C-alpha cells in the first residue's frame, strides 16, 4: 500500500518535533507566536503569510510541488536535489522505476527562503549547555539576519520549476533530519564516552554513514586539538539551519564545553576555537545529512510500502 504525500510530510514534522532539543513548551510558544503574527495582519496581507508556520515549527521543511493527497509509490532521496537530480528522476521513471517524489534534504523555494528562521533554535541549544538565554538570543539574531540577506538573491525555485514541468512531487526535509542526527550522535557519544579526541573520531567511524564517508576520504576528522587530548564535555552541534556566529564559541567554552562535534566549521570558527582552546571535530556534512535523512526514512518506510532510491550523497542505512 502506497503512502500519501501529506502523510510523509506529517511524519517528517512529527519526527522533527520528537527529536527536537527544545521541549514541547518552547515549540508551542514558537507556533503561538506565528499565530499572533498572522492574527495581526490586515486581510490583504494574509495571502503572503506562510500558513504552514501555524502547525510546522520548521520553516525550511515544506512541500514544494504537488497535491498533498497524491499517492507516493517511490521517492528519490538526496542531499542536494537540483535540476540535474530532477532529470535523473525523470530518466529513472522512463526506465520503469516508480519515482513520484523528489525528497530533498537541503531546502528549495519557500523552505530555502525561510532557512534563517530555524536558526533561532540555536539559542536554546546553547542555553542547554549553560549559556544564558538572553546572551544566546542576542548572539543568534545578527547571524540569522546575515543568512536571510545572503539567501535573498538565490534562484530559489529553479529545481522546483523543473520538478513541476516534469510532473514530480517535491518536498524538503531539513531541520527534522538535522534534529534526528543531532540527537542520535549526542546519545551515541554519551553512551560510548570516549576519553580522548582520537577515541572520539574512532567511535564516530563505527557509525555506518561515517564509515562510508571515511572510506571515501571525507570521514570524521579532528580540526582543532590533539588526538591524545581529553575531550571534556562533548556537545553535538548539528542542527539549527546553518553555522551560528563564532562568538558563540566563547560562551560555550565559558560554560564548560570542551569539545564540539559538528557537520562543518568555517576557518573563522576554527581560528576562534584555537584561540579559546576548545576542540573541534568535524563529523562530516553530507554524511551527517545522510544519517539524519536515514532516520527519517525509517519512519516513512514504517508507515507504508514505498520504494526508496538514493542519490546526491545519500547512502541508505536502515535501523528499523
299 and 151 co-located in one domain:
yes
What distance, in Å, lies between the first and last C-alpha atoms of the chain?
A: 19
Residue 67 resides in a domain: yes
The whole-chain average pLDDT of the chain stands at 97
Pair (142, 205) in one structural domain: no
**CA 161 from centre of chain:** 23
Query: Which residues contact residue 112 at a Cβ distance below 8 angstroms, ignoring those fewer than 6 apart?
Result: 60, 106, 151, 154, 156, 172
93 lies in some domain: yes
Task: Indicate whether 211 and 80 sit together in one domain.
Answer: no
Tell me: the pLDDT tens digits for 136-150?
999 999 999 999 999
Residue 192 lies inside a defined structural domain of this protein: yes
Do 108 and 156 touch, CB atoms closer than 8 A? yes
Q: What is the pLDDT of residues 3-48, one digit of tens each?
A: 999 999 999 999 999 999 999 999 999 999 999 999 999 999 999 9
Q: Are residues 94 and 19 in the same domain?
A: yes
Q: Averaged over 112-132, what is the pLDDT?
A: 96
Q: Is residue 200 part of a domain?
A: yes
Is residue 77 included in any domain, yes or no?
Answer: yes
User: Largest Cα–Cα distance of the chain, in whole Å?
Assistant: 62
> What does the pLDDT read at residue 1?
67
Question: 164 with 247, same domain?
Answer: no
Q: Give the CB-side neighbour count of residue 137, counting CA atoms within 13 A.
A: 3
Domain that holds residue 14: 3-175+288-310
The pLDDT tens digits of the residues spanning 243-299 come to 999 999 999 999 999 999 999 999 999 999 999 999 999 999 999 999 999 999 999
Domain co-membership, 156 together with 23? yes
- If pLDDT is split at 50, 70 and 90, which confidence band does 2 have? confident
Same domain, 128 and 187: no
Region for residue 306 given its phi and psi (left: phi exceeds 0; alpha: psi -120 to 50; beta: otherwise): beta
Find out whether 74 and 307 touch, Cβ atoms under 8 Å: yes
Banded model confidence at residue 163, pLDDT cuts 50, 70, 90 = very high
Look at residue 162 and tell me whether its pLDDT is greater than 80: yes
Q: Identify whether 319 is part of a domain.
A: no
Closest CA to 7 of 53, 72, 83, 51: 72
Same domain as 171, residue 101 = yes
Q: pLDDT band for position 320 (50/70/90)?
A: confident
**SS3 per residue for the chain:** CCEEHHHHHHHHHHHHHHCCCCCHHHHHHHHHHHHHHHHHCCHHHHHHCCHHHHCCCCCCCCEEECCCCCEECEEEEECCCCHHHHHHHHHHHHCCCCCCEEEECCCCHHHHHCHHHHHHHHHHHHHHCCCCHHHHHHHHHHHHHHHHHHHCCCCCCHHHHHHHHCCCEEEECCHHHHHHHHHHHHHHHHHHCCCEHHHHHHHHCCCHHHHHHHHCCCCCEEEECCCCCECCEEEEECCCCCCCCCHHHHHHHHCCEEEEEECCCCHHHHHHHHHHCCEEEECCHHHHHHHHHHHHHHHHHCCCCCEEEECCCCCCCCCC
How distant is the alpha carbon of residue 183 from its chain centre?
12
205 φ/ψ sector (left φ>0, alpha ψ -120 to 50, else beta): alpha
Domain contains 140? yes
Confirm if 140 and 115 have CB atoms less than 8 A apart. Answer: no
Closest-CA residue to 160 (of 79, 241, 104, 97): 104
Q: Structurally, how many domains does the chain consist of?
A: 2
Q: What is the C-alpha separation between 280 and 28, in angstroms, rounded?
A: 33
pLDDT above 70 covers a percentage of the chain that reads 100
Q: What is the pLDDT of residue 221?
A: 97
Residues 160 and 206 in one domain: no
- Segment 183-217, tens digit of pLDDT: 999 999 999 999 999 999 999 999 999 999 999 99
Are 164 and 301 part of one and the same domain?
yes
Residues 146 and 193 in one domain: no
> Do 58 and 97 belong to one domain?
yes
The CATH number of the domain where 267 resides is what? 3.40.1390.30
In a domain, 315, yes or no: no
pLDDT over 90, % of the chain: 98
Amino acid at each position: 500500500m502506497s503512502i500519501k504525500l501529506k502523510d510523509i510530510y506529517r511524519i517528517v514534522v512529527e519526527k522533527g518535533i520528537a527529536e527536537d532539543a527544545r521541549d514541547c513548551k518552547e515549540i508551542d510558544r514558537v507556533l503561538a507566536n506565528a499565530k499572533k503574527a498572522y492574527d495581526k495582519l490586515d486581510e490583504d496581507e494574509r495571502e503572503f503569510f506562510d500558513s504552514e508556520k501555524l502547525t510546522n515549527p520548521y520553516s525550511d521543511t515544506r512541500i514544494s510541488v504537488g497535491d498533498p493527497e497524491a499517492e507516493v509509490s517511490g521517492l528519490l532521496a538526496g542531499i542536494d536535489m537540483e535540476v540535474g537530480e530532477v532529470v535523473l528522476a525523470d530518466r529513472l521513471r522512463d526506465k520503469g522505476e516508480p519515482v513520484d517524489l523528489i525528497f530533498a534534504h537541503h531546502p528549495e523555494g519557500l523552505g530555502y527562503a525561510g532557512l534563517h528562521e530555524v536558526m533561532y533554535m540555536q539559542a536554546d541549544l546553547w542555553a542547554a549547555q549553560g549559556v544564558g538565554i538572553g546572551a544566546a538570543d542576542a548572539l543568534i539574531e545578527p547571524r540569522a539576519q546575515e543568512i536571510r540577506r545572503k539567501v535573498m538573491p538565490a534562484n530559489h525555485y529553479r529545481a522546483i520549476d523543473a520538478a513541476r514541468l516534469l510532473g514530480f512531487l517535491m518536498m524538503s526535509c531539513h531541520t527534522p533530519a538535522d534534529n534526528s542526527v543531532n540527537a542520535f550522535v549526542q546519545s551515541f557519544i554519551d553512551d560510548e564516552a570516549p576519553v580522548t579526541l582520537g577515541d572520539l573520531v574512532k567511535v564516530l567511524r563505527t557509525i555506518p554513514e561515517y564509515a562510508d564517508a571515511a572510506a571515501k576520504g571525507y570521514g570524521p576528522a579532528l580540526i582543532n586539538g590533539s588526538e591524545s587530548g581529553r575531550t571534556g564535555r562533548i556537545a553535538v552541534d548539528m542542527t539549527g539551519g546553518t553555522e551560528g556566529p563564532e562568538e558563540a564559541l566563547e560562551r560555550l567554552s565559558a560554560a564548560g564545553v570542551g569539545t564540539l562535534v559538528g557537520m562543518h566549521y568555517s576557518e573563522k570558527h576554527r581560528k576562534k576555537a584555537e584561540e579559546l582552546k576548545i576542540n573541534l571535530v568535524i563529523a562530516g556534512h553530507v554524511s551527517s545529512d545522510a544519517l539524519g535523512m536515514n532516520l527519517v526514512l525509517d519512519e516513512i518506510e514504517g508507515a507504508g510500502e514505498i520504494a526508496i532510491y538514493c542519490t546526491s550523497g545519500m547512502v541508505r542505512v536502515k535501523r528499523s
